[in-house]
Structure 1
């Protein structure tokens, strides 16, 4: 399965071979790989080179290195959180704006609501109702951090109802980026009250399995959130201090 390597880029080539074998199904999740000693011999590399490659594969979530009597190197199914966190770290250096996030949300969130209305189960509707109830209770007690967390869960449940893994991943990722923005701006009670009411209208449409209405209400919700967050970013109270330029003497 694996071939010897002779290159200064040996760690990356090892990663490519093992990753390829896992993604092609030659090694199934949970299956044990050859031992480190065997891999060192097969690849024709040093222990240090193999160790570097295995650490990278473990970081990527493709393998699990276990210790003890049943220890060894095992192929693992990539955790969605690992991939999402890596992307979030990347986009935090890309100056992503509220408008950027909202453009994506306006396309995908209404579509997700429309599909969810056609596929949602009664249990999912009960979950959404419970989230809204928890938000109203938290709002009454001014627990804004709790409301913010529940609002993210609301959108995740709807995304999950689409049964589309690509859509679920993208929307979860976008919601996490948006949550980071909200954590910085710290919206007030009026914002949360507006969103809670919007979410209740979305649930009402989902209960009726009214796909078009669910889509329209979701678009309104996303647009209102965008409008509010942009107004907060433009508010001088939330503006970042400008850098002072010192003239050269």
Structure 2
């Protein structure tokens, strides 16, 4: 994604010796089901929930897991790959490598939500409603507990967006404007709001493949008002401005979807939007 680098997600630092953790894990229960790899993944997730596995821990070797589960190594490997794709595990190479529990990150969640949109499970109206809830929550949290460093980052973001507007670089302005929401979410100090914001932006980028961005004059005027309220830590006015801004964006995008030429060659993104209109 070319909009901006993701903000670093909050994680947990493991304090146990990794080899010790791998050797002291509770034994697994042999599996006898048609989709055995799902049960393997479920048992590993259960150990995470119970605290028997923690971020940074290394799982036993694939051969040892296969013996504990009473399954083939291929089945265990499939389960581990499933957990890797979902963001639970990561694989490291070398003599000290293997399957490790990842530090707390939301990449798998973001990808999953974006895929639900691509599949049509999530419609544009769902995105609009969820984006409103998340953005207003992050605005409130930033007013209440954002640091001065967070506020400075927002100021710099708005200045960069204004520079892009003066240069006539709309694509850069849009990218910077989306980054504003990441900074706002990071200032909330709420990992879930950060992950959900990333997911909303991921879908917004898909929409902007076929929809024209809102006019710079409208967006930047609202952004300057919002920034003023954030710097003053005026929670209610900041929330009100954010709500007005998002409703204006929705009106802008709805108009485009309704007026799109039916006979034009449509990309997959346009077909997805048409199904949701």
1:98–1:229 CA contact under 8 A, matched in 2:
no
Aligned residues: 241
Is 1:216 the counterpart of 2:240? The answer is yes
Q: Decide which structure has the larger Cα Rg and report it.
A: 1
Cα-to-partner distance string for 1:145-173 (whole Å, 9 max, x where unaligned): 21111111111222222222223322332
The secondary structure found in structure 1 opposite 2:184 is: helix
- Residues 238/209 of structure 1: CA separation in 2 closer, same or farther (3 Å cut): farther
How far residue 63 of structure 1 moved from its aligned partner, in angstroms, is 1.7
Instruction: Look up the match of 2:109.
Output: 83
- Counterparts of 1:58 and 1:104, CA distance in 2: 27
**Who is 2:174 aligned against?**
148
Corresponding residue to 2:249 among 222, 225, 234: 225
Matched, 1:125 2:114: no
Q: From the superposition, tell whether residues 87 and 16 of structure 1 become closer, same or farther in structure 2 (CA, over 3 Å).
A: same
Question: Partner of 1:31: helix, strand, or coil?
Answer: coil
Equivalent residue of 2:91, what SS?
strand
Q: CA RMSD in A?
A: 2.2
Cα 1:111–1:15 change in 2 (3 A) is closer
**Distance in 2 of aligned mates of 1:105 and 1:145:** 21
Within the candidate set 26, 33, 47, 1:7 is matched to 33
Picking from 179, 183, 190, the partner of 1:164 is 190
Q: Which residue is 1:247 aligned to?
A: none
CA apart distance, 1:41: 1.1
Q: CA deviation at 1:177?
A: 1.5
Q: Secondary structure at the match of 1:185?
A: coil
Structure 2 unaligned spans of 5+:
1-25, 272-277
Counterpart of 1:246? none
